[in-house]
Amino acid sequence: MEDCLAKKMEITVSEAEKRTGRNAMNMQETYTAYLIETRAVEPQSEGQCAPVDSLWRRYSEFELLRTYLSVTYPHIVVPPLPEKRADFVWHKLSADNMDPDFVERRRIGLENFLLRVASHPVLCQDKIFYSFLTQEGGWREMVNETGFQIKADSRLKALNATFRVKNPDKRFTELKHYSDELQSVISHLLRVRARVADRLYGVYKVHGNYGRVFSEWSAIEKEMGDGLQSAGHHMDVYAASIDDILEEEEHYADQLKEYLFYAEALRAVCRKHELMQYDLEMAAQDLTSKKQQCEELATGTVRTFSLKGMTSKLFGQETPEQRETKVKILEEQIQEGEEQLKSKNLESRDFVKSAWADIERFKEQKNHDLKEALISYAVMQISMCKKGIQVWTNAKECFSKM
Amino acid sequence: AAGAPKPLPSSGPKSLREMPHPLATSSSEEMGPAFTPSPDPLLPRGIADKDLSLPNGTPVDTSSPASSSSLLNRLQLDDDLDGETRDLFVTVDDPKKHVCTMETYITYRVTTKTTRAEFDLPEYSVRRRYQDFDWLRNKLEESQPTHLIPPLPEKFVVKGVVDRFSEEFVETRRKALDKFLKRITDHPVLSFNEHFNVFLTAKDLNAYKKQGMALLSKMGESVKYVTGGYKLRSRPLEFAAIGEYLDTFSLKLGTIDRIAQRIIKEQLEYLVELREYGPVYSTWGGLEVELSEPLEGVSACIGNCCTALEELSEDMTEEFLPVLREYLLYSESMKNVLKKRDQVQAEYEAKLEAVALKKEDRPKVPTDVEKCQDRVECFNADLKADMERWQNNKRQDFRQLLMGMADKNIQYYEKCLTAWESIIPLLQDKPETK
């Protein structure tokens, strides 16, 4: 197993910059560019560090890369990009794409995306991906030259179109169902979490009012004054602490979001299988009917009702020569069809095999990552509780000195 | 204390040193069996910290209406008035609902333990309802107009908004009534008031209420101060300062009350969201295999935090807010006493002026003007003493209240901390190790 790119190369998205330029319609637009820095991880002689290469990319180029990868490797659960627009925001967060906090979180998300791809055993070997990281100019043209758009199955985009597949691999059907449920439950979770964050913010901030009133009250007191004043200060500290707490929690939300989008990628693979299976079944069906036609023409018996048969009855039989030509054409088509069916079958089986391998890899990754995310969430909650205990203990001491 | 003159049974507080020892042989006075009350654990120990030195005033004729404060001036109470030197203990508990044809109401048990001579027995247990407490307060205000009477919890509750018979409401009220009686008990003058005595001891309080006027004279009840007609030119500086203090204090308390209510409201809204949040993890757990237990764990954890938060909000509503409201009522009472004092001073100044205008040869000041002067001086002394006591109590009470609030919050966070810490090992668990 070849070492994936991530082990050979350090990749970071280190900066984000606001840029203005002209778009395809020669209109001025503002966008954010991200600096990708790469550095070879090689045993170096002492004191020497590998040189850092860098180039700027914007979000639309990341999108192009991902689209290319999805089309080129349909059996792979391709890592998702961070969200294009801020979703699941609670009131304090901005839904503005230009907001510095959003840009910062997106920068981290893009870096994460590149690292995911670089550590994928199959994707990391892709040349286009490598060029994305290392080749500044002419990358777009290079991608388009691969002609991947032609390979793209437009039906994949039609999410709701149903194809009556008679014999899908049950595992994929179950997996598609799972990915739908996963999307639904994580969306719900993110929505409620945002509301929880909103409310918690309110609780903490109102306590800040105690700070002010205690201070005012302490002015008219003699013995109680000092205790009240210093307790009020702790209330201010308490109220201010929520900002950092909730900012940290956004990282947890981002981790969940990644898997929300991963569910989409998972679904795409299942969908691809469905379509392949559909094509296969259609091809098999077509072959069967052609064979039947051939048989009927050869033996002259009409086993099944067909319009052709009826019309030939009504308008007269064909000449033997005409029939023979037809049979010959059909036989050719049948042969072609059988070869095609064979290769389609093979393709399909290969797809199922390699897709399922990647799905297993993905499952393990998902279980590991989400467990880590839950642990870090619990750690955040523990930290918040400890801070709360600290502040109120301090306040209590001040009150005791009243 | 041998040789000390035997004081009249109902002449007000005695110096502790003057009080005959319960076990000492006494010829005419009947004392109940020796009873040293053990410190009631329910009673606040805050009294021990009180500074009860009182301003020394000149002793005034015991027949004057202000006899209570003159005796007060002679009184030197110990700094450490702990359970052993205290001789009167009162508790309010055991609320019971009574359903009658005309009405439904709650009664509370009022238990008294005492060694005081003013009480025939060392122990009493009676049942009283809110209107009895209200009656007592009115009587105290009438009979001790120079003193600050502790407030009662509010009389009227809006029907439909508050359930008068809910456990929480009854308990909150019980605590307030208990506090009310304890404050009277701790007061060196009010605790010797005859109405208070009857309230604590009478089997049939209603019969006594009807008697009413007959007993008023015995206590040396002061003539009702006529309010109205006299306007004070200017309040003396020290009382003006008290008035200003009370105004600002009330304002700040009002603000704190609003903040506390707002916090409770925000907490409850937070709770609503948390209640939806926890179960989503559980739903997710149902979808997963390996993650099923960790997700269920998180769900349960959030549930525990919900319970803890509920408890915190309840505590704040039931224990914090009522005390704030009580002190607002207290401020109002004190402001009223200040106004009454102003009236008394105004009357005195008016009469003095009237005399001065007559320009008689005799420089002798007529007795009724002298009496007014006495009244003013005694009122001022009483008020100052009460204010100081009130300030001390206030400091104690708020210290306790705010420490309690901090404590409740600490407990809330500790409960949540325990919950989250306990699921870390569950989250880190590897399936193989199970």
Does B284 contact chain A (CB < 8 Å)?
yes
Query: Residue A53's pLDDT band (boundaries 50, 70, 90)?
Result: confident
Q: Is A393 within 8 Å of B273 when comparing Cβ atoms? A: no
Q: Give chain B's radius of gyration (CA, Å).
A: 28
Tokens 């994936």 -> residue? A4
| Domains parsed from chain A with CATH numbers | 1-161 (3.30.1520.10), 167-299+322-401 (1.20.1270.60)
Q: Please check the confidence at residue A199 and state whether its pLDDT lies above 90.
A: yes
How high is the pLDDT of residue A328? 84
Is B274's CB within 8 Å of A196's CB? yes
Please give the Cα distance from A208 to B317 (Å, whole number).
19
Q: State mean pLDDT over A105-120.
A: 94
Inter-CA distances, B410 with A82, A213, A272, A395, B405, Å: 39, 22, 55, 10, 9
Instruction: Name the strand (E) or helix (H) holding A96.
Output: none
pLDDT at B39 over 70: no
Q: Between chains, do B402 and A188 touch, taking CB under 8 Å as contact?
A: no
A381: which chain B residues are within 8 Å (Cβ-Cβ)?
Answer: 416, 420
Q: Give the residue carrying structure tokens 């929690």.
A: A249
B270–A227: do the CB atoms touch at under 8 Å? Answer: no
CA of B406, closest CA in chain A: separation in Å? 5
Written as six digits, the tokens of A275 are 């379509």
Predicted local distance difference test score (pLDDT) of residue A157: 61
Contact at CB, B399 and A400, closer than 8 angstroms: yes
- In this predicted structure, what is the pLDDT of residue A95? 64
Q: Does B427 touch chain A if contact means CB atoms closer than 8 Å?
A: yes
Q: Is the ipTM of this complex over 0.95?
A: no
- Label residue A379 by pLDDT band (50, 70, 90): very high
B272 contacts in A (CB within 8 Å)?
Answer: 199
3-state helix, strand, coil in chain B (%, to 5): 60, 5, 35
State the DSSP code for B317.
I
Q: Are strands A28-40 and A52-58 parallel, antiparallel or unpaired?
A: antiparallel
* Higher local confidence (pLDDT), A30 or A217: A217
- The per-residue pLDDT for A167 is 83
| CATH fold of the domain at B232-428 | Substrate Binding Domain Of Dnak; Chain:A; Domain 2 (1.20.1270)
- CATH of the domain spanning B86-209: 3.30.1520.10
B434 reaches A (C-beta below 8 A): no
B132-136 long-range Cβ contacts below 8 angstroms, 24+ apart: B132/B199, B132/B205, B133/B177, B133/B180, B135/B205, B135/B209, B136/B195, B136/B196, B136/B199
> pLDDT grade, residue B248 (50/70/90)?
very high
Percent of chain B whose predicted confidence (pLDDT) is above 70: 72
Best CA proximity match to B156, nearest among B120, B121, B193, B131: B131
Residue B67 clears pLDDT 70, i.e. is over it? no
Sign of CA dihedral B118, B120, B123, B129: negative
Asked if the Cβ–Cβ distance from A374 to B417 is below 8 Å, we say no
CB pair distance less than 8 Å for A220 and B245: yes
Give the Cα separation of A229 and A231 in Å (integer): 5
Rounded Cα distance between A69 and A67, Å, is: 5
Asked if the C-beta of B247 comes within 8 angstroms of chain A's C-beta atoms, the answer is no
- Give me the DSSP letters along A302-360: --S--HHHHHHHHH-PPPHHHHHHHHHHHHHHHHHHHHHHHHHHHHHHHHHHHHHHHHH
- The residue type at A104: E
Nearest CA in chain B to A389: B410
Q: Quick one: average pLDDT of B351-373?
A: 74
Per domain, the residue ranges of chain B are: 86-209, 232-428
pLDDT top residue among B371 and B408: B408
List the single residue in B267, B280, B291 with the smallest CB-CB distance to A370.
B291
CB within 8 Å: B427 and A375: yes
Instruction: Yes or no: say if B277 and A198 are a contact pair by the CB < 8 Å rule.
Output: no
The pLDDT tens digits for A319-377 are 777 778 888 888 888 888 899 899 999 999 999 999 999 999 999 999 999 999 999 99
Tell me what the pLDDT averaged over chain B comes to: 78
| Average pLDDT, rounded, for chain A | 87
A30-52 confidence digits (pLDDT tens): 888 999 999 887 766 666 667 88
At A304, the pLDDT band (50, 70, 90 cuts) reads low
- DSSP state letters, A118-152: HTSTTGGG-HHHHHHHH--TTHHHHHHHTTHHHH-
C-alpha B191, offset from chain centre: 13
Q: Which pLDDT score is estimated for A21?
A: 81
Asked which of A6-15, A169-178, B162-171, B327-336 is least confident by mean pLDDT, the reply is B162-171
Give residue B75's pLDDT band: very low, low, confident or very high (50, 70, 90). Answer: very low
B415–chain A nearest CA distance, Å: 9
Do the two domains B86-209 and B232-428 of this chain adopt the same fold? no
B399 in contact with chain A, both atoms CB, cutoff 8 A: yes
pLDDT of residue B43: 39
- Residues of chain A with C-beta less than 8 angstroms from the C-beta of B428: 371, 375
For chain A, say whether B273 makes contact (Cβ under 8 Å): yes
Candidates B259, B267, B281; nearest CB to A209 = B259
Chain A residues within 8 A of B255 when measuring between CB atoms: 209, 213
What confidence category does residue A396 fall into, taking pLDDT thresholds of 50, 70 and 90? very high
Please answer yes or no on whether A385 and B409 come within 8 Å at the CB atom: no
More confident residue, A126 or B25: A126
Q: Is A352 helix (H, G, I), strand (E, B) or coil?
A: helix
Angstroms from B396 CA to nearest CA on chain A: 8
CB A201 within 8 A of CB A229: no
| Mean pLDDT confidence for A151-171 | 73
- Structure token pair of residue B119: 């009480």
Residue B157, pLDDT score: 65
The count of other CB atoms within 10 Å of the CB of residue A179 is: 21
- The model carries a pTM of 0.79
Any chain A CB within 8 A of the CB of B165? no
Report the pLDDT averaged over residues B312-341.
Answer: 90
